[in-house]
């Protein structure tokens, strides 16, 4: 748990808000400073500017939640929960682009966080952070009403979710 919170704190120094209201996070294989507080706020956006790495795009609401967790208001914890999976494919040539296209098409219309994941050999698109099966079931019902053509690919899965406590 402490490692996850430290990782979140370390990564928050590299958040950049893009024009389309997403957050880009640069990751690298180098070590973050021992304490994020030792880096001046003005230097934080450029902390890993010269390093190459992976770019992770996420909804800006995640950055807000991370900010609340870092300010000591609440703690971000990983718990068992549920998500609604709407896409899964192992067709390597098409699956990644289909998953990202689906995320782009839905992100402004569904009111939940969308997670695009690659778990060898599958690309998956999952929605939401639901603590109970019943919450996920209710959201699935609403989603399928809005997107009936996706009914056959939509189901509830157990997953680790992040919640503020």
Distance CA 136, CA 112 (A): 11
Domain encompassing residue 136: 76-164
87 & 34 share domain: no
87 & 137 share domain: yes
- Among 15, 39, 70, the domain boundary falls at 70
Cβ proximity of 129 and 113 under 8 Å: yes
Question: How would you class 150 by CB atoms within 10 Å of its CB: exposed for 0-12, middle for 13-18, buried for 19 or more?
Answer: middle
- For the chain, how many structural domains are there in total? 2
pLDDT digits 0-9 by tens, 155-165: 999 999 988 87
63 & 128 share domain: no
- Among 48, 70, 92, the domain boundary falls at 70
92 & 153 share domain: yes
Distance CA 151, CA 43 (A): 47
15-17 sheet: strands from edge to edge: 15-17, 22-27, 54-59
pLDDT digits 0-9 by tens, 119-149: 999 999 999 999 999 999 999 999 999 999 9
- Among 70, 86, 109, the domain boundary falls at 70
> Which CATH number goes with the domain that contains 155?
3.30.70.1070
90 & 158 share domain: yes
pLDDT digits 0-9 by tens, 64-112: 666 655 665 677 789 999 999 999 999 988 999 999 999 999 988 888 9
26 & 65 share domain: yes
91 & 159 share domain: yes
Q: Write the CB contacts of 57 (distance below 8 Å, at least 6 apart in sequence).
A: 18, 22, 23, 24
54 & 97 share domain: no
159 & 81 share domain: yes
Whether the pLDDT of residue 24 is over 50: the answer is no
């Amino acid at each position: 748990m402490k490692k996850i919170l430290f990782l979140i704190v370390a990564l928050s120094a590299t958040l950049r808000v893009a024009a389309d209201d997403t957050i880009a996070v640069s990751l690298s294989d180098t070590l973050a400073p021992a304490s994020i507080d030792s880096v001046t706020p003005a230097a934080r956006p450029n902390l890993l500017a010269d390093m190459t790495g992976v770019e992770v795009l996420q909804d800006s609401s995640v950055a807000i939640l991370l900010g609340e967790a870092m300010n000591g208001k609440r703690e971000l914890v990983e718990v068992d929960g549920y998500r609604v999976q709407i896409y899964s494919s192992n067709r390597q040539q098409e699956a990644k682009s289909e998953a990202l296209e689906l995320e782009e098409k839905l992100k402004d219309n569904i009111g939940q966080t969308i997670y695009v994941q690659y778990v060898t050999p599958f690309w998956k698109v999952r929605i939401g952070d639901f603590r109970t099966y019943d919450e996920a079931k209710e959201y699935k019902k609403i989603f399928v009403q809005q997107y009936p053509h996706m009914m056959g690919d939509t189901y509830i899965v157990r997953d680790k979710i992040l919640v503020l406590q």
